[in-house]
Amino acid sequence: MIPLRIKVEANADQPFVVRLRSFEADGREQKTEQLNPFDVALERVGPEGADYVGEGGPIRILGIDPAKVDGDVLLVNPWRGTADRLIRSSSLHNTFLVTERCDQVCLMCSQPPKKHHVDLFTYFETAALLAPEGATIGISGGEPTLFKAQLFELLRRVLDARADLSFHVLTNGQHFEEGDWHAMNLIDRGRVVWGIPLYSRDPAVHDQIVGKEGAHTQLLKNLALLCCLGAQVELRTVLMHPNADGLPSLARFITSRLPFIRTWALMQMENIGFGRMNWKDLFYDSSEGFDVVGRSLDLVRSRGIDAWLYNFPLCTVPEGYRHLAPATISDWKRAYRDECDGCSLKAVCGGFFDWHPANHGYSNLGAIQ
C-alpha cells in the first residue's frame, strides 16, 4: 500500500507545511530561483535519509525514495518525527481529513467518529495552495460541515487564489441552513461538488442506517436548499442488505424529486471500521443480485441523470454495465487478488479495497479473458 505518513527529522517546535522539490542535481542558484517559501529542495541523499533545505530550515525524510515524493506537500509533525503527505503530486486521490467528529453513526462507516478534534484548517489551506496544476482535492471526515465557517472560508480563499483547482467535499448534508447563503454564494459553485449520502426513499431505513432520527427529513430540506444555491450535488448510496430492495423506489424518487443532482453514485461497501464489524449483516453480493442495481441505474439514466457504480470490481458487473463502473477506489487503498492475475480488464478495473476479506464477499468474480 502507498504510505500516507512518512518518517522525518526536523528541528522545529511547531507543525509546519512544506513542499518537497527533488530536483535532479543542478546548480543551487537555479533551485533557489524556482522555490517558493514553502518549498524545500533536495540537497543530498545518503544512507541516513534524504536532506532538503529551504527558507524554513533543513528537513530529512527517511525510508522513501525522494523521486517518489517530488512535489508532495507534507504536514510535518516534528515532535512525532512524522509527516502526513497531504498532497501526493502524482496522485488523483488527495483528501484532507478535516475532522474525525460526526453527528451520525452510520452502520458501515469506514472512519468511525471520535470526539476529539484538532483544527488544522490553516495547514490544509496552505497545502491546497501548493497543489499541482488542475488538481481536485477531496475533503472528508468525520463531518466537515460541523466546522462549516472554517470550511467555507477555506474553499473561498483557495478557489479565489487558484483558478485551476476544484474540490470534492463529502458531507452528510445535515448542517446547511439559510444563514449559510451568503458564505456559500462567495464560493465558486462550479468548482465544488458536494458528495452527500441518501440511502433510501424510506425515512425509517435511512435514519436507521445513519443512526440519527430525523436525518432523512433534514437531508431532503437541505438538498432543496443546495438546489436553490445551484450547488453541484453527487448523491451517494452505499448498497447494503437493508436498502437493496428499496433501490428502485429510491431511483424513482430521485427522478421525480431530485432531478437537479449532478450524479447518482451507487457504491459498494468498504470492509473497515464499522463496515467490518457489521459486514456479515450488511454486505450485499451484487455479483449475485445485480438485477435491482441495473433496473435502478437504467431508470435514473433514462431521465438524463448521470448514474455510476463506484467501487465495483468489473468482473462482478454484467458486461453491459461495466462502462458505468470507473476505477474509483483511491490508489493508496486499492488492491488486486490472486483471481486478477491475467485479467484483461485489470488496467481499467479499480479492483478491491486493500482490506477486502478474502473469504467473504462476491460469489462471482474472476479474471476476464
DSSP symbol at 161: H
Q: Which is nearer to ligand SF4, 50 or 343 (CB)?
A: 343
Q: Which stretch binds ligand SF4 (CB under 6 A): 39-47, 131-139, 285-293, 337-345?
A: 337-345
**Residue 229 touches ligand SF4, criterion: CB under 6 A:** no
The candidate with the shortest Cα–Cα distance to 234, out of 162, 336, 166, is 166
Smallest distance from the beta carbon of 295 to ligand SF4, in angstroms?
A: 23
**Closer residue to ligand SF4 in complex, CB, 225/367:** 367
Considering the rule CB under 6 A, would residue 340 count as an interface residue with ligand SF4? yes
Q: How many residues bind ligand SF4 (CB under 6 A)?
A: 15
**Judging by DSSP bridges, how do beta strands 136-140 and 166-170 pair with one another?**
parallel
- In the complex, least distance from residue 341 CB atom to ligand SF4, rounded to whole angstroms: 8
Alpha carbon separation from 118 to 98, 100, 140, 156, 224 (Å, rounded)? 8, 9, 14, 21, 31
Q: Does 365 bind ligand SF4 (CB under 6 A)?
A: yes
Which residue lies nearer to ligand SF4 by CB, 227 or 367? 367
User: CA angle, corner 318, sides to 317 and 324, nearest 5?
Assistant: 65
Nearer to ligand SF4, 69 or 329 (CB): 329
Region binding ligand SF4 by CB under 6 A among candidate stretches 135-143, 145-153, 259-267, 343-351: 343-351
The minimum distance between CB 312 and ligand SF4, in angstroms, equals: 9
CB of residue 326 to ligand SF4, shortest distance in Å: 12
325 sits near ligand SF4 (criterion: CB under 6 A): no
Of 113, 187, 343, 361, the one binding ligand SF4 (CB under 6 A) is 343
Residue 78: count other Cβ atoms within 10 Å of its Cβ. 17
| 315-337 b/e (C-beta count within 10 Å ≥ 16 → b) | bbbeeebbebbbbbbbebbbeeb
The answer to whether residue 246 forms part of the interface with ligand SF4 (CB under 6 A) is no
Question: String of b and e for 222-240 (b: at least 16 CB within 10 Å)?
Answer: bbebbeebebbbbbbbbbb
Phi/psi-derived region of residue 311, left when phi > 0, alpha when psi is between -120 and 50, beta in every other case: left
Stretch that binds ligand SF4, among 26-34, 43-51, 160-168, 340-348 (CB under 6 A): 340-348
**What track of x and - describes contact with ligand SF4 for positions 123 through 152 (by CB under 6 A)?**
------------------------------
Q: Could you say whether residue 367 binds ligand SF4 (CB under 6 A)?
A: yes
Question: Which residues make Cβ contacts (< 8 Å) with residue 215, sequence separation at least 6?
Answer: 104, 172, 174, 206, 207
Q: CB-wise, 103 or 339, nearer to ligand SF4?
A: 339
Nearer to ligand SF4 by Cβ, of 59 and 314: the residue is 314
Please report whether residue 361 would count as binding ligand SF4 according to CB under 6 A.
no
How far is it, in rounded angstroms, from Cα 83 to Cα 37?
18
Assess contact for 365 and 341: CB atoms under 8 A.
no
Residue in 196, 183, 182, 283 with CA at minimum distance from that of residue 232:
196
Q: Which of residues 258-317 bind ligand SF4 (CB under 6 A)?
A: 313-315
Name which position in 151, 231, 233, 349 contacts ligand SF4 (CB under 6 A).
349
Distance of closest approach, residue 283 Cβ to ligand SF4, in angstroms: 16
Question: Residues 126-141, buried b or exposed e (16+ Cβ, 10 A)?
Answer: bbbbbbbeebebbbbb
For ligand SF4, give the closer residue by CB, 123 or 362: 362
Q: Of 124 and 353, which CB lies nearer to ligand SF4 in the complex structure? A: 353
CB 241, min distance to ligand SF4, A: 22
Measured distance CA(345)–CA(278) in Å, rounded? 30
- End-to-end Cα distance, the chain: 27
339 lies in the site for ligand SF4, by CB under 6 A = yes
Nearest distance, CB of residue 352 and ligand SF4, angstroms = 6
**Which chain residues interact with ligand SF4 by CB under 6 A?**
313-315, 336, 339-340, 343, 345-346, 349, 351, 365-368
